C-alpha cells in the first residue's frame, strides 16, 4: 500500500486536520499521480459539513485534481511517467452499462465511484480525494492536460469547467443567443467564460454588486443585481438559456420568468433544501427546467482540449492547505474570486 498524506474532516463539525492514509498499490491499468494542485469546490463544503446527508468520514475532499504521473502500471498506454494528468469527480464505474456505454459514466447504473465521500467498485473501500499528496487511478478515468503552463488554473476545469460546459453544449448555446448565468462563483465564472466563447450574449445575475467589473472582465456583456425586483422586470421573456450556479436556496420563478418561448433553465447549483416550482412558470412559453451533473470522461477531455485551444482557464487564488477553513468561510460568504486552489506542496509543511 502507498502511504499518503492528506487533510481530512472527522465529522461534520470537526474542522480539518492532517490525516495519513493508504492508497492501493498500482494495478496494471493504474497511474500514480503526484498531486500538485487541487481546486476547492462548493461541493467539498456541502459534503464535508454533511449538508446533503449521508457523508462518509473521515473525509478527504477534493475533485479538481492536477499533477504529474509518477508511475504507471504495466498495461498503461495513455500516460507515461512525467506527463501531466487530471482527475475530476469520479475515479471508476462499471464501464459496461447503458450509461457508461453512452459516455456518461457519472451516471453508471452499477456504481459511480466518486473521487471522495464514496467507495471503490467493491462498494466497501472508501475513496479519498485531492486534498492529499498523491492518488492512484485507472488510466481511463484520468484526463490528459495539455495546458501545462497554467496548471493551477486548469485544476478547476475538472469540476467547475465540465459542469458548466456540458449543459451549454447539450442545449446548443451559440452565437445570437441570450444566456443568463446566475451566481458568480467558481461554476458561474466558468459559465460566463464558456458561454461567451461560444458566441452568446451573456448576462450575469448576482447578489454581489461589487462583482460587476469582474463579470465584464470575464466576458459578460451585462450585469444585473438580482436582489432588486425592479431590475428583473424588463428582462421578462428575453432569455434563450439560463444556467443556475447558486449554492444556496433561492426562488427559481424569478429566473424561469425570464425565459422566452422554448427557453431552458438548467440547475447545476445544488442547495441543501428542495425548491418550489409553480407549474405556470413552466407552462407559459413552453419552458424547460432541467438539471445537469458534471460530465463523462470523453466530454471532460473535449472540454479540456477546447479550453486549451481557446486559452480558457479559471481565475484563481492559490492557498496553502492550512488555510482551507478560511477559504471555506470566504466561499460561503460569496467572497471567492473565483476559485480557491490549494498548492499541495504545502502538505509537506504539516
Locate 332 and state its grid cell: 460561503
- For 154, list phi and psi in degrees, rounded to 5: -85, -30
Residue 68: contacted member of Zn ion, ligand NAP, none (CB under 5 to 8 Å, by partner type): none
Q: Which helix (H) or strand (E) holds 182?
A: strand 178-182
CB of 40 to Zn ion, least distance (A): 9
Closest residue (Cβ) to ligand NAP? 185
Q: At what angle do helices 186-197 and 160-170 cross, to 10 degrees?
A: 40
CB of 149 to ligand NAP, least distance (A): 24
Residue 263: contacted member of Zn ion, ligand NAP, none (CB under 5 to 8 Å, by partner type): none
Nearer to ligand NAP, 6 or 180 (CB): 180
- Under DSSP, is residue 36 helix (H, G, I), strand (E, B) or coil? strand
Closest CA to 27 of 123, 121, 124: 121
Which parts of 279-318 interact with Zn ion (CB under 5 A)?
none
Residue 207: contacted member of Zn ion, ligand NAP, none (CB under 5 to 8 Å, by partner type): ligand NAP
Bridge partners of 113?
Answer: 92
Where along the sequence are the contacts to ligand NAP (CB under 6 A)?
Answer: 41-43, 46, 159-160, 163, 183-188, 206-208, 211, 245-248, 250, 268-270, 292-294, 331, 334, 336
- Under DSSP, is residue 199 helix (H, G, I), strand (E, B) or coil? coil
Binding mask 25-44 for Zn ion (x = CB under 5 A): ----------------x-x-
Q: Is 342 in the site for Zn ion (CB under 5 A)?
A: no
CB of 41 to Zn ion, least distance (A): 3
> Using alpha carbons only, how large is the chain's radius of gyration in Å?
20
Nearer to Zn ion, 257 or 314 (CB): 314
Residue 46: contacted member of ligand NAP, Zn ion, none (CB under 5 to 8 Å, by partner type): ligand NAP
Which parts of 126-185 interact with Zn ion (CB under 5 A)?
159
Bridge partners of 179?
Answer: 202, 241
Distance of CA 203 to the CA centre of its chain: 21
Nearer to Zn ion, 69 or 159 (CB): 159
Contacts of 246 (CB under 8 A, 6+ apart): 182, 183, 269, 271
Inter-residue contact 203 to 181 (CB < 8 Å): yes
Locate 74 and state its grid cell: 504495466
CB of 268 to ligand NAP, least distance (A): 4
Residues near Zn ion (CB under 5 A): 41, 43, 159
Amino acid at each position: 500500500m502507498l502511504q499518503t498524506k492528506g487533510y481530512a474532516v472527522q465529522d461534520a463539525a470537526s474542522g480539518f486536520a492532517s490525516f495519513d492514509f493508504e492508497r492501493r498499490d498500482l494495478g496494471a491499468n493504474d497511474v500514480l499521480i503526484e498531486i500538485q494542485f487541487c481546486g476547492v469546490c462548493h461541493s467539498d463544503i456541502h459534503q464535508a459539513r454533511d449538508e446533503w446527508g449521508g457523508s462518509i468520514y473521515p473525509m478527504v475532499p477534493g475533485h479538481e485534481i492536477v499533477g504529474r504521473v509518477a508511475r504507471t502500471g504495466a498495461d498503461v498506454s495513455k500516460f507515461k511517467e512525467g506527463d501531466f494528468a487530471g482527475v475530476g469527480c469520479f475515479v471508476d464505474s462499471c464501464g459496461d452499462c447503458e450509461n457508461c456505454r453512452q459516455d456518461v459514466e457519472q451516471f453508471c447504473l452499477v456504481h459511480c465511484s466518486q473521487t471522495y465521500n464514496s467507495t471503490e467498485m467493491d462498494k466497501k473501500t472508501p475513496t479519498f480525494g485531492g486534498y492529499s499528496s498523491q492518488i492512484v487511478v485507472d488510466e481511463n478515468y484520468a484526463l490528459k492536460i495539455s495546458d501545462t503552463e497554467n496548471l493551477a488554473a486548469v485544476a478547476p476545469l475538472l469540476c467547475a469547467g465540465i459542469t458548466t460546459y456540458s449543459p451549454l453544449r447539450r442545449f446548443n448555446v451559440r452565437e445570437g443567443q441570450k444566456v443568463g448565468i446566475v451566481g458568480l462563483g467558481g461554476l458561474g465564472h466558468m459559465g460566463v467564460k464558456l458561454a461567451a466563447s461560444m458566441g452568446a450574449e451573456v448576462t450575469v445575475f448576482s447578489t454581489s454588486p461589487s462583482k460587476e467589473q469582474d463579470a465584464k472582465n470575464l466576458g459578460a456583456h451585462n450585469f444585473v443585481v438580482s436582489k432588486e425586483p425592479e431590475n428583473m422586470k424588463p428582462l421578462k421573456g428575453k432569455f434563450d438559456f439560463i444556467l443556475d450556479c447558486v449554492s444556496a436556496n433561492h426562488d427559481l420563478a424569478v429566473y424561469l420568468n425570464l425565459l422566452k418561448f422554448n427557453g431552458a433553465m438548467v440547475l447545476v447549483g445544488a442547495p441543501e433544501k428542495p425548491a418550489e416550482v409553480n407549474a405556470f412558470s413552466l407552462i407559459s412559453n413552453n419552458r424547460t427546467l432541467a438539471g445537469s451533473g458534471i460530465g463523462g470522461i470523453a466530454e471532460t477531455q473535449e472540454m479540456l482540449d477546447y479550453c486549451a485551444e481557446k486559452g480558457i482557464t479559471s481565475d484563481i487564488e492559490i492557498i496553502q492547505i492550512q488555510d482551507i477553513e478560511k477559504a471555506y468561510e470566504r466561499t460561503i460568504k460569496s467572497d471567492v474570486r473565483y476559485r480557491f486552489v490549494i498548492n499541495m506542496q504545502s502538505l509537506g509543511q504539516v
